[in-house]
A = this chain, B = another copy of it.
Amino acid sequence: MNKAKRVTITDIARLAGVSPGAVSFALNGRPGVSAQTRQRILDIAEESQWLPNSAARALVGSHAGVIGFAVNRSAGTLGAEAFFTDLIAGVQSALAGKRIAMQMVLVSSVEEEVATYRRWHSAKQVDGVIVIDPRDDDPRLPVLRDLALPAVVLGSHASPEGHPATIWLDDSQVAHSLFDYLGALGHRSIAYVAGPAEFQHTRLRTEVLAGLGERGVRGEVIATDFSPAAASTAMRRLLSRLERPTAVVFDNDVMAIAGLRVAQEMGVPVPKDLSVASFDDSVVAGLVHPSITCITRDTFGLGAEAAKFLLEQIDAPDVLADRIGAMPQLTVRESTAVPR
């Protein structure tokens, strides 16, 4: 068995004939060694394939070299939505090359999420976290503030400026761009099959839809748990009524696809008799037939920006300036049309 003993800075120090301290200076680009010695040390480190032991580094108090991502979704809905993988892929793209890893954990409640942050902080396991799905009166934000754990929140929330840093996503704008589009097409009865009511974006979207009332649009909201089954049920109920809505908007693409299927099963032609749209895009939304009109967000880019922002904040926790996320675009596809 290959023992593969790990190379430490002490080994390098011995090889270079200097003290471990000098090696540390050299490897971290700190003053305290001559250019010549520094180069010699770097060469030896390279040759002997030295890699820093992250545990030791984390212990001495600098960085853990890890950012954390706690996802509060059931395992089932996780796999269905492309949002997470896209976001993660974006985060990874920003982390590539840097010696920073991402730790991910699935939690099943906000309480558990908060506990995870506490544990991560206490165990010095992560340097910062990415937080999604802000809620009204979000219990996570004060905790992150208390722990002084660097964080980037994606979305819009009521918290005052400052920690935690936020990439603001203007959900009202987003809701407007989709609902206004449907209104402009002539739809006067729109149903919105939403996710859980406690999410901030659900509330904002609901408000925007309600706001269209002045313009003669009757809106209706059905809360679900994001599952395709719930979407099917909602759709079936909507289409069984005498007064059907002429457009149904879903919170994500999987629910929209589920809804689409129900419409087809019930013989309701889309988009002729019914328009369908989704607040979330994905590759598949553009591939099904009819393809689904969606709000297209650069989730990958968002993930990358979030990671970069987080890293900046970890480096300089005091320099805080919230950012505005890229505005999502409306992608009109085949599933929406002028109502009959």
Measured CB to CB, the residues of A under 8 A from B are 1-2, 4, 6-7, 49, 51-59, 64, 66, 75-76, 78-80, 82, 84-86, 88-90, 92-93, 95-96, 101-106, 118-119, 121-125, 146-148, 228, 254, 257-258, 260-261, 264, 282-284, 287-289, 291, 299-300
Q: Which residue of chain B has its CB nearest to the CB of A93? A: B75
Kindly list chain B residues whose C-beta atoms are within 8 Å of the C-beta of A66.
103
Contact of A123 among B52, B104, B254, B291 (CB under 8 A): B52
Copy number of this protein in the oligomer? 2
Assuming the contacts A85-B84, A121-B4, A261-B287, asked whether A64 and B75 have C-beta atoms less than 8 A apart, the reply is no
Kindly list chain B residues whose C-beta atoms are within 8 Å of the C-beta of A119.
51
Contact of A124 among B1, B54, B105 (CB under 8 A): B54
Kindly list chain B residues whose C-beta atoms are within 8 Å of the C-beta of A82.
79-80
Residues A260 and B283 in contact, CB atoms below 8 Å apart: no
Q: Which of A80, A101, A103, A148 has the most CB of B within 10 A?
A: A101
Kindly list chain B residues whose C-beta atoms are within 8 Å of the C-beta of A4.
121, 146-148
Kindly list chain B residues whose C-beta atoms are within 8 Å of the C-beta of A7.
122
CA gap between A66 and B89 in the complex, in Å? 20
Give 19 pairs: A residue, B residue, CB < 8 Å, sorted on A. Answer: A4-B147, A49-B118, A53-B124, A55-B55, A55-B124, A78-B89, A79-B86, A80-B282, A101-B103, A101-B125, A102-B103, A104-B104, A228-B283, A254-B287, A257-B284, A261-B287, A264-B289, A284-B284, A289-B289
